[in-house]
Chain A
Amino acid sequence: MITINADTKIATLLKENPASLEAIISISPKFNKLRNPLLRKLMAARTSINMASKVGGCTVKDFFNKLEPLGFTIDNKVERIESTAIKQVPPFMQNINAADIIELDVRAEIETGKDPLNIIMKAVKQLKAGQLFKLINSFEPVPLMLLLEKQGFESYAETIDDNLVYTYFHKSQGAAIKEIDTSNASEGWDEMLLQFTGNLETVDVRHLEMPLPMLTILDALDKLPEAKALYVIHKRIPVFLLPELAERKFEYRIKEVADGEVYLLIFKK
């Protein structure tokens, strides 16, 4: 069994031992959402134990206590600085005009099983100085808060009830949405997706029989405008495509959310 720490992703736990699902749900009723396979798919890969403990209003220790009996080895060394748990109403929440609040409700999007990150990023990018972004959601989106924090956003989550959370994002003074340094090749999936927000073309090849997925993707890449990225939904990591991409001077990022569901982001450097 693997060693886990506060940074271990929920997806890793579920993959390693499916019984951890029930164990996690038993920690807090808020984790009942994980029963929904779509939500699980979206959230589990992005959420670490540390983040989840904040969503659930419990501690990392609670997780370890439940997971240790399942055979996970606990590594207590990784301690995360509690960065998003702003419990007091921050200054940016005061003196704000209703007209300056941009609202986005992603509950319907999540209900239908879509990843809302794309439309959230679109809205965030269009945010003007002094405006406040209000995200309406069914849970506290800790991973998103962390992601946007890196982009210079302050956030504040207001829990209305168990199924309704308003999260406010405010651009810190002077901080523009950072254009991500593309020379750094180690940028991860989320950062790259963020960079191509609004410039994505999507192709779903899950229903196609071999070798049609590869041909379809290569066709789509031929037609892809220079500044855009191709978002591919695939059944598995298409390993044989990767050398072809390299040959055509395309870069790629891969996100495997579950067996049978893999996303690819393909773009020109």
Chain B
Amino acid sequence: MFATTNTSVKNTSYKVVLPFYLYAAISFLIATIFLLTSTRAFLGHYFQPQILAITHTMALGWGTMIILGASHQLVPVLIESKLYSNVLAYLSFIFAAIGIPMLVYGFYVFDMGWPSQWGSCFVAVAILSYLINIAISITKSKSENIHAVFVFTATVWLFLTVILGLAQVHNFTQIILPADSLHYLTLHAHAGIVGWFLLLVLGIASRLIPMFLISKYNNVKLLWWIYALVNLAMLVFVALFLYPGNNEFLFIPVLLIFISLSLFIYYCYWAYKKRIRKQVDEQVKLSLLSVFMLLLPVMLLMIVIIFLIRSSQQNLNLILTYGFIIFFGWLTAIILGMTFKTLPFIVWNKVYHQRSGLGKTPNPKDLFNNNIFKIMAVAYLAGIIIFSIAILLYNVLLLKTGAVLLLFTAVLYNWNVLKVFMHKPSKL
């Protein structure tokens, strides 16, 4: 058609992206409510219904949903092309949106019957739609981009994670795996944490952090090293899982991850050093903090392995703390920061791009309340520190205190997200 001569750089429609953000915000709120009502679960074993329900609300409803939403917008920008299909994007939202609550409900009541079985299938369909969409978008683009390669590889790991998870769920009622479902938990968890979340966040953050700092620093070679190290660590871990040797060998993947994280911190340091923008805003500060937070779980993991070697015993509360710091610490910190570096801009585009040219438009930053953000950040940091200490000390009162602070964080987060969503154009 004549009217559309140049569609090559078309933005992904906000209609595709915004539902993911809203869903994630609500999931975070629900997860923190679960956290408050299930504090006692944190005194026991990690393979426990409520812990599984909270973990999957956080990993899928919160982390994965917001990443899917943001990357539908971001990947086309990275590869200088457009998203292959809006229909696939909607499908991935709808299937995930239905599947996640079914799965979480199944875990919570610990009924591995039809809700969790169908729920896990729906999640798998959602991720497959996303994987196909991203794969075709990237193949169709002319420009190769390392950040897009990170995203694609991470999505492959996510798909493998989900398929294994699906098998684990179904394995409760009919035997399809050679061992019991608990046996595969470490593999499932780490394919998700390292293969999906870590690889993806490194890939995206390595683009966004220099961009938000307005830094001229660029080091593609270093990023390829990081990419190789994280993937190698996962492959070694899978090999060790399938052909178990001495527990000492488990240090190899941890060490590889430690090196890749150190390289990433080095990357961020130079991006920070060479920045043009002198005043770093709160959102980027919180995201930078999350980069350092990554070292915490790695150290905890090393201690866990040392315990494992010494006594072949799992140290349960260390493992719980490890998981908590990953999902509520690192992952949440980066999302809390990055939400307000992306969402207001998407909504701004929705509200104002048609009206541009008419006159003055507001600053996208003014679509959310920065003071609420600051209070949220403080409540959040206090919350995770108190809750982590409480798990290690088996202290119920501290667990409750931490959980209340995190619930408060989620309420403020939702408030600010809704404020952005409800933004009405100012009178021009």
Q: Which residues of A approach B to under 8 Å, CB–CB?
A: 14-15, 18-19, 21, 34-35, 37, 40, 45, 185-189, 209-211, 214-215, 218, 235-237, 239-240, 242-244, 246-247, 251, 253-256, 258-262
Q: Are B357 and A255 in contact (CB under 8 A)?
A: yes
- In addition to A215-B214, A240-B211, A242-B361, 9 A-B residue pairs with Cβ atoms within 8 Å of each other are A21-B3, A45-B357, A185-B359, A189-B356, A210-B211, A218-B276, A242-B363, A243-B363, A262-B356
20 pairs, CB–CB < 8 Å, chain A vs chain B: A35-B2, A37-B2, A186-B358, A209-B80, A210-B207, A211-B214, A214-B214, A237-B353, A239-B348, A240-B211, A240-B212, A240-B345, A246-B365, A253-B356, A254-B353, A256-B353, A256-B356, A256-B357, A260-B9, A261-B6
| Minimum CB distance partner of A46 in chain B | B357
- What is the bound-complex CA distance between A253 and B78, given in angstroms? 26
Q: How many A-B residue pairs have CB under 8 A?
A: 103
For chain B residues 203-240, which have a beta carbon within 8 Å of chain A?
207, 210-212, 214, 216
| Minimum CB distance partner of A44 in chain B | B3
Q: Are A237 and B359 in contact (CB under 8 A)?
A: no
Q: Are A253 and B357 in contact (CB under 8 A)?
A: yes
In the bound complex, residues from chain A placing their C-beta under 8 Å from that of B216 are 215
- What is the bound-complex CA distance between A19 and B276, given in angstroms? 47
Query: Quick check: is B398 within 8 A (CB to CB) of the other chain?
Result: no
- What is the bound-complex CA distance between A237 and B363, given in angstroms? 13
In the bound complex, residues from chain B placing their C-beta under 8 Å from that of A237 are 349, 353, 356
- What is the bound-complex CA distance between A169 and B5, given in angstroms? 34
Using known A-B contacts A243-B364, A244-B277, A253-B357, determine if residue A258 contacts B5 with beta carbons closer than 8 Å.
yes
In the bound complex, residues from chain A placing their C-beta under 8 Å from that of B173 are none
Query: Quick check: is B7 within 8 A (CB to CB) of the other chain?
Result: yes
Query: Quick check: is B246 within 8 A (CB to CB) of the other chain?
Result: no
How many residues on the B side are at the interface (Cβ–Cβ under 8 A)? 38
Q: Are B363 and A253 in contact (CB under 8 A)?
A: no
- What is the bound-complex CA distance between A8 and B266, given in angstroms? 54
In the bound complex, residues from chain A placing their C-beta under 8 Å from that of B78 are 210
Using known A-B contacts A215-B214, A215-B216, determine if residue A239 contacts B345 with beta carbons closer than 8 Å.
yes
Q: Are B9 and A188 in contact (CB under 8 A)?
A: no
Q: Which of B3, B143, B349, B356 contacts A255 (CB 8 A)?
A: B356
In the bound complex, residues from chain B placing their C-beta under 8 Å from that of A261 are 6
In the bound complex, residues from chain A placing their C-beta under 8 Å from that of B358 are 186, 188-189
Cβ of B194 to closest chain A Cβ, rounded Å: 27
Binary contact readout B105-143 vs A (1 if CB under 8 angstroms, 0 otherwise): 000000000000000000000000000000000000001
Q: Are B6 and A188 in contact (CB under 8 A)?
A: no
Q: Are B77 and A254 in contact (CB under 8 A)?
A: no
Binary contact readout B49-90 vs A (1 if CB under 8 angstroms, 0 otherwise): 000000000000000000000000000011010000000000
